[in-house]
Amino acid sequence: MNNWLLDTNALIWFFEGSPRMDSAKELFSLPGAKVHISVVSWWEIAIKVRLDKLPINVSELEAFVNEYNFFDLPLTKAFLKAYLDLPNIHKDPFDHMLLAQAITCPMRFITGDAQLADYSSLVMVV
């Protein structure tokens, strides 16, 4: 499977050059690989920036995402059923929706949150 969805934390780590993303970065360079960034992540980032909980330049992050030719993943009604069907193991609604998108599409979901691996074999913890 060469389709990937980055969790918000993974996107930020990749942007910041964290070594946590080294193994994932190699996967992104494979032929046919498509990396997706959900509108859910952009929304989460905007909220945290506005609340001064995330010191990041959103314009620079957008330029970075464009430079890597990452794909936008919109939020549609099709993802709601998967979202509602997820058990409440984890309490973060952003992570739930991102996971619902990954399961529905399907695509591998790259995250730093090991608890999310309990939901699906599509989860790759970095």
Can you give the pLDDT at residue 30?
87
Confidence of residue 74 (pLDDT cuts 50, 70, 90): very high
CATH number of 3-125: 3.40.50.1010
Per-residue pLDDT of 3-39, as tens digits, reads 999 999 999 999 999 999 998 888 888 889 999 999 9
Domain boundaries, the chain: 3-125
How much is the pLDDT for 89?
86
Tell me the pLDDT of the chain averaged across its residues. 94
pTM: 0.93
DSSP the chain: --EEEE-HHHHHHHHHT-GGGHHHHHHHTSTT-EEEEEHHHHHHHHHHHHTTS----HHHHHHHHHHTTPEEE---THHHHHHHHS-TTS--HHHHHHHHHHHHTT-EEEES-GGGGGT-TTEEE-
